[in-house]
Amino acid sequence: MEDHTPTYVTASNLLTDISQLEPFDVVGFDADHTLVKYNVVALSKMIDDCHLKTIVKDCDGYPHNISDMFDEELSHFPFNGATFDMNTSLLVKISEDKRVMVAYKGFTKLNENEIENIYGKDRIFHKEYDVWNYRSLDKGYIGFHTYFDTSSVTLCAKLMELKLQGAINKTNEEIINDIITCVTSCYANYNEERCYRIADFGYFFPEVVRNTDKYIQKREDFRDILKQLKELDKKLFIATNSHAEYTDLIMTRSIGEDWKSFFDFIASNCGKPAFFDKIEDTQKFYRCDYNSPTLKGKKCEVDDLEDTHIYLEGNCKDLENYFKKLVGKEEINVAFFGDHFITDAALSDLHENWKGITIMEELNHEQMKQEEESQLLNYQKYWGSFFGGEINKVWYKNAWVKFAEGHSSFVLPLMKDLGRLLIK
């Protein structure tokens, strides 16, 4: 059968053969959107709803009927890597050479002339823009990345619409700060003093607890992948920013009740990027202890770490030293899979003997032969391809695709593709 996949829907460093994983003694995974496959359409609609309820509750000056003011279909608006330019009030898609490819004022798309009138003939977004610093409020822009964060793109567009209509009276800085407050209120179920049970915290967690099956796929094939990796003598671990109780909920749904038995180490609330980049001033691992208000139990040195506990916080060097002991080697090679291009793939890839592997779900989504389980948003109708776009008939690659090619060792569309490689 003819393959209709456009040639630009690719990454130059695709993981194509399981032999590429041969050098690795240890294979690690992020949880959300990596070992845990969400139904992104249902998730996006639900997060939109949570955001609107939260912003009305926690921030001043927003209309109480905000939830009724917009079409549900706008849940498809989020684009991975979209950036809000606080100076121009526009949401933009940026090319590898910093050009504005697509721009929105609220939900109104700008035409080519309008973009050139604002950014000049060459359409350069910001000379200093780079993906590493995609959230640079001091420079006047903030990007949104991964399918939790990109729901803020819809929220941002809705708030800009309200501002244009005169329904709210806020500066762009105030709006962005309110969005940050709202997102923190939705997901940060812990502080220095205590960790809140997810069933009682905010709107997002209780809804996932109530309707786990609606938002998260049960994946027998992921169990098989983990089993096969173990048969290949790989040691396995999880390093997720999700806190312990939520990790247990989502992994139980995805892998099964016995999910912990597949792993030689589990780090939750591990605080990436610090987990990978604050190595000099390291955060130590703590044993998860549900009798402690913060869930933080014993603080552990490498010699204290065991596969029988779940840990919080920690850092990748202690993790590496733990695995050196477990494997019985002075040097080990580690591969780490994750959907965050920076805090999972690029930062792990910077360490000697570590290879970061980017999960790029858009690769699967934009292939013509859609797999049944592809559940990504229909973002293309607003933003075009994730992989790039044309400006005056010249093709430009998306900055984020270029980044994943340059700063991670491999790119993989979805975890299930690893299963396919293992069978080959």
Q: Which residues, 15 to 54, sit near Mg ion by CB under 5 A?
A: 30, 32-33
- Tell me how far, at minimum, the Cβ of 32 lies from Mg ion, in Å: 4
Q: Which is nearer to Mg ion, 11 or 31 (CB)?
A: 31
- Tell me how far, at minimum, the Cβ of 336 lies from Mg ion, in Å: 12
Q: Which is nearer to Mg ion, 25 or 339 (CB)?
A: 339
Minimal CA–CA distance to 409: which of 144, 146, 131, 16?
16
Residue with tokens 């700060």: 177
Please state the φ and ψ torsions of residue 61, each to the nearest 5 degrees: 95, 10
Cβ neighbours, 10 Å, residue 59: 18
**Total number of residues binding Mg ion (CB under 5 A)?**
4
**Amino acid found at 324:** K
Q: Which is nearer to Mg ion, 103 or 346 (CB)?
A: 346
Q: Which is nearer to Mg ion, 88 or 240 (CB)?
A: 240
- Tell me how far, at minimum, the Cβ of 147 lies from Mg ion, in Å: 9
- Tell me how far, at minimum, the Cβ of 37 lies from Mg ion, in Å: 11
- Tell me how far, at minimum, the Cβ of 241 lies from Mg ion, in Å: 8
Q: Which is nearer to Mg ion, 33 or 45 (CB)?
A: 33
Q: Which is nearer to Mg ion, 36 or 399 (CB)?
A: 36
Instruction: Check residue 349 for interaction with Mg ion (CB under 5 A).
Output: no
Q: In whole angstroms, what is the distance from residue 338 CA to residue 147 CA?
A: 12
H/E stretch holding 85 reads strand 83-85
- DSSP 3-state assignment of 93? strand
**80 touches 146 (CB < 8 A):** yes
First CA to last CA distance, the chain: 20
Alpha-carbon torsion, ordered 57, 62, 67, 70, to 10 deg: -160
- Tell me how far, at minimum, the Cβ of 24 lies from Mg ion, in Å: 20
Given 25, 48, 339, 361, the residue binding Mg ion (CB under 5 A)? 339
- Tell me how far, at minimum, the Cβ of 148 lies from Mg ion, in Å: 8
How many Å is the maximal CA-CA distance in the chain?
65
Query: Residue of minimal CB distance from Mg ion?
Result: 32
Tokens representing residue 112 in the block: 């080519």
How many Cα atoms within 13 Å fall on the side-chain side of residue 294? 13
Stretch that binds Mg ion, among 51-59, 168-176, 282-290, 338-346 (CB under 5 A): 338-346
Stretch that binds Mg ion, among 88-96, 220-228, 337-345, 416-424 (CB under 5 A): 337-345
Under the rule (CB under 5 A), what is the footprint of Mg ion?
30, 32-33, 339
